[in-house]
Amino acid sequence: QKEVEQDPGPLSVPEGAIVSLNCTYSNSAFQYFMWYRQYSRKGPELLMYTYSSGNKEDGRFTAQVDKSSKYISLFIRDSQPSDSATYLCAMATSGYSTLTFGKGTMLLVSP
Amino acid sequence: DAGVTQSPTHLIKTRGQQVTLRCSPKSGHDTVSWYQQALGQGPQFIFQYYEEEERQRGNFPDRFSGHQFPNYSSELNVNALLLGDSALYLCASSLGLAGGPVETQYFGPGTRLLVL
């Protein structure tokens, strides 16, 4: 079993839809949870960062962490074609440790 | 601020050859981490350099080695290339011992390596 599981998609939605992206994990030592966006042929760009459980909102993006279920989510409201990218979840055991990534979910938002 | 830069952008090698990839960290950053991202996969941690020493290493064979220079730039070397080494190689820079808070890791655009 991989430490971090993420459905690779692709996930296709129309413009304006609410998008839900998810990851599950097996290592209960993970404390830091990140979402990265990666456009084609580019490096990952940090979108959201959450410590431990709870919700965090930033504009159209909301990150949720449920440590009891070992499940994290990223919601994108009012999705735009420019949101089309691969979304990677990543986790770390401490603020100074290396990152463990999921496979990434490819999102396609059509106009 | 140029951010993290990597060179070359693309590279084609044949099996058995050796390759060197280069990374310049974001201005002010002193720690460099290298990741391998195979097609359709998430990045996998290779190793991390701080103060010119390898501080952490992922599950990669000794064919993968690195170096950090006094100006904090870094090189990733891969010997005896295998077809399975074909991937996007990402460099991430951060500030502080052991990579700094995870939210401050900045990734470069990567070097795409194809092994034939």
B83 is written with which tokens? Answer: 């077809």
Chain B environment of A41 (Cβ under 8 Å): 109-110, 112
Residue B58, pLDDT > 60, answer yes
Residue B113, pLDDT > 70, answer yes
Interface check for B28 against chain A (CB to CB < 8 A): the answer is: no
pLDDT band (50, 70, 90) for residue B1: low
Nearest by CB to residue B45, choosing from A43, A88, A98, is A98
Contact state of B105 with A46 under an 8 Å Cβ cutoff: yes
Interface check for B55 against chain A (CB to CB < 8 A): the answer is: no
Residue B102, pLDDT > 80, answer no
Which phi and psi (to 5°) does residue A80 adopt?
-120, 155
Residue B27, pLDDT > 60, answer yes
Contact state of A43 with B42 under an 8 Å Cβ cutoff: no
- Residue B98: the pLDDT is 53
**DSSP for A5-61?**
E-----EEEETT--EEEEEEE--TT--EEEEEEE-TTS--EEEEEEESSEEEEETTE
Nearest by CB to residue B107, choosing from A41, A44, A97, is A44
Q: What is the DSSP letter of B73?
A: -
pLDDT beneath 70, residues of chain A: 1, 96
Cis amide linkage into residue B101, ω under 30° from 0: no
CB pairs under 8 A between A and B: 69
CA nearest to A31 within chain B:
B102
Nearest by CB to residue B108, choosing from A6, A43, A95, is A43
Task: Report whether B35 contacts B48 (CB < 8 A).
Answer: no
